[in-house]
Structure 1
């Protein structure tokens, strides 16, 4: 009975697998016991397939774990467990085939891209070599050696003579400036004396004005007082 039912269980597992994966993508549906995977045509499709495989593999493992718990509650425990194992095996086998085909496409696409890049690099190098061969660089001409001419720097004796002349000129200027500095000092002293005189005059005027104002105030106060009237006897 068990051997007769096993092919039926396997067929049921395939049907359940088709129904479960159909909601995700038709490209992941197993078509026979030997997985036949549709060819991938782009990197985007390969990435989508791998994402679907990850999702469906997790769902299959969760389904199997739940089936083990459920089977122990049934009368035909072994038949139920065999069916769950077959479903898991067929599903994972197909998902592995889909994953292998998608990763193979990615590796081939990466290798093709590297080949194209290498071919382009070789082509660019060959084109540069051809350009250089057609237009060789001019041979550099060596510059004639420089001939050292006579030095234009002054000699030590010339520098000493220039320094002595400079010191003599400074001394002469200082000597000529002595009368001028004396006159300036005398003028400054006279200005100071004149300034002190003006300051004293200002102070004297202020004192005279204050004295005059004080006298005027006293005269006004005296005029304001009542005069005594003398009576003749």
Structure 2
């Protein structure tokens, strides 16, 4: 699930920022998200202090599916994409998953988050960085095939950049591993009204449709997302002609 956050008393920036929920404690009234300072919105959030008010809409969207008797799983993240995977790992283990492994990737060591938390939950934590400043040099796709084989994984869960989700979905699907992806698309309204963040997804009936990342997602079966067509309007999408495809 996700949460959309914006300043309580300001209209700049106009749109809320969407984040995966890292930790929620309804008893204490605690909701925890993880983010990096990049644009105006996250800079404003980083400047908030205890007692400041935020405008929060939550929970939004879908969560990762969890079988009643889960099998071995591999959790793959890109940078801060690990935020929702830590609580997911706890849920998997509590539900009886025999093995949970992590592949934690980032551009550099300073972009890694939650690695020690992951190690507290699993004896199989692989770290990769693009520049080699921590763990293995390279991307998460490097060690992933061997890790799926070593764990006999039945499911792969991933959260991170779209390119990473595309790559790991192809690797998992080719090996018969179910793959679940949490997309990191920017969301405008967060409730599906604006129809601005859509993905081409193949339905159970075999028909491709544009679905909303904030409502039908952010968690999707990675094997059904047409990653190569994200950001475009393919001619075979249901309703493409009415939307002006030619």
Alignment TM-score, normalising by the size of structure 2: 0.18
Greater helix percent: which structure?
Answer: 1
Alignment TM-score, normalising by the size of structure 1: 0.18
Greater strand percent: which structure?
Answer: 2
